[in-house]
Amino acid sequence: MTLLTQEKTLAAKVRPDFPILLQEVNGHRLVYLDNAATSQKPLQVLETLREYYEVYNSNVHRGVHTLSARATSAYEEAREKVSRFVNAATHQEIVYTRNASEAINLVAYSWGLSNLQRGDEVILSVMEHHSNLVPWQIVAQKTGAVLKFVELTETQEFNLEQFKSLLSDKTKLVSVVHVSNTLGCINPVREIAELAHKYGAKVLIDACQSVPHMGIDVRAIDCDWLVASGHKMCAPTGIGFLYGKLDVLRSMPPFLGGGEMIADVFLEYSTYADVPAKFEAGTPAIAEAIALGAAVDYLMQIGMDKIEAYEHELTAYLFEQLRKIPQVKVYGPQPAADGTGRAALAAFTAGEVHPHDLSTILDQAGVAIRAGHHCTQPLHRYLGAQSTARASLYFYNTREEVDVFIGALKEAIEFFAGIFG
């Protein structure tokens, strides 16, 4: 019952902000359940983009004229908003990047190449997104550092005990995902950071699937870096951010060279600007950064605690319904009865039906879910699954949409049973 009241006060309240959700797809009302890949954007964010281009489009940090001053202050105000959103100590700890992938590459190329040596160890986990694997593979190949992997427990969660056994004085970096985009498990990042720091290792948290869905406090986690993408938290594509502790960021060499990141340039050498400018070479994604600030405003106005609570209720309902379909096997931990303990997404298989076929059939019913390896191919291999289908929810999704999804899923399973059976 609480779900219905919550729904009226949250999803029902916010849906007018997302006109894209009002359309029909293949003759059915769109049910968008691919939020772990990218979220939809509210009007408040779209209007921010439009206003920038209609009213004060201008380059930042370069001009003294009125439009440039306005663009610069909006761009820097957005940084303040992101900084407060994750409780950074100062706005200087927030570096704008294109997305989370670029943020991880920044740390890998800047910090990794200049700090890792042959025999040093980097601890990742088997559930990492390709974005938190490939950059470290490249750096390991260049430096001779060794990659170690945390495996899963029986309930398909982060194996903290095994992680402890991997830690040693050789450990220089622990880089792990906060919330898995496939398993939906929530990793104990605070404890992971504390343990890693005892060995003097640095800690990077991939927060792509947590920042949009729950309140994040980088100082409570005590990570050295944290990365996220704007496009999964109601902001446009092309903007993400890297949080780094101020002294850690200051100790790192530049990643990309060019305009904006310098103090003085001579023909033979240059001196660099202080952080965060040091890591923002060239004209940035100005409108997108300002719109990221608008997205943060939007989420904070709703309240991350409300978003989290509402998603728990939807999660409980989603899993209750999925459990009733015997062919469906969901990966990752089960939620508690109140929907807590995991993210509002379900990566699953349905008997012999290929996830791509499932997704295609569901699309005919207007339901958008993802099929594939969700950029966690090693995890799928580890789980012994070629691919999975994934439904992922956000705060604007409703219980009725879960019903439509479940109905279409049952029909698809029956349809294929008819073919194969």
Distance in angstroms (rounded) separating the CA atoms of residues 163 and 151:
8
Distance in angstroms (rounded) separating the CA atoms of residues 276 and 266:
21
Distance in angstroms (rounded) separating the CA atoms of residues 307 and 177:
21
User: What residues make contact with ligand PLP under the rule CB under 6 A?
Assistant: 36, 99-101, 129, 131-132, 177, 181, 206, 208-209, 229, 240
Number of Cβ within 10 Å of residue 101's Cβ equals 21
Distance in angstroms (rounded) separating the CA atoms of residues 34 and 181:
11
Of the pair 229, 359, the CB lying nearest ligand PLP is at 229
Of the pair 177, 322, the CB lying nearest ligand PLP is at 177
Of the pair 31, 100, the CB lying nearest ligand PLP is at 100
Distance in angstroms (rounded) separating the CA atoms of residues 135 and 132:
7
Which residues, in sequence order, are CB contacts of 301 under 8 Å at separation 6+?
none
Least separation in angstroms between residue 302's CB and ligand PLP is 21
Of the pair 132, 388, the CB lying nearest ligand PLP is at 132
Coil, strand or helix at 347? strand
Least separation in angstroms between residue 74's CB and ligand PLP is 23
Distance in angstroms (rounded) separating the CA atoms of residues 381 and 79:
39
Q: Which long-range contacts (CB under 8 A, 24 or more apart) does 325-328 make?
A: 325/350, 325/406, 325/409, 325/410, 325/413, 327/351, 327/353, 327/413, 328/409, 328/413
Least separation in angstroms between residue 184's CB and ligand PLP is 11
Number of Cβ within 10 Å of residue 155's Cβ equals 11
Q: How big is the chain by its Cα radius of gyration, in Å? A: 22
Of the pair 235, 412, the CB lying nearest ligand PLP is at 235
Distance in angstroms (rounded) separating the CA atoms of residues 235 and 229:
9
Query: Could you list the active site residues?
Result: 375
Beta-bridge partner residues of 368:
32
Region of residue 68 (left: phi > 0; alpha: psi -120 to 50; beta: else): alpha
Of the pair 184, 366, the CB lying nearest ligand PLP is at 184
Least separation in angstroms between residue 211's CB and ligand PLP is 10
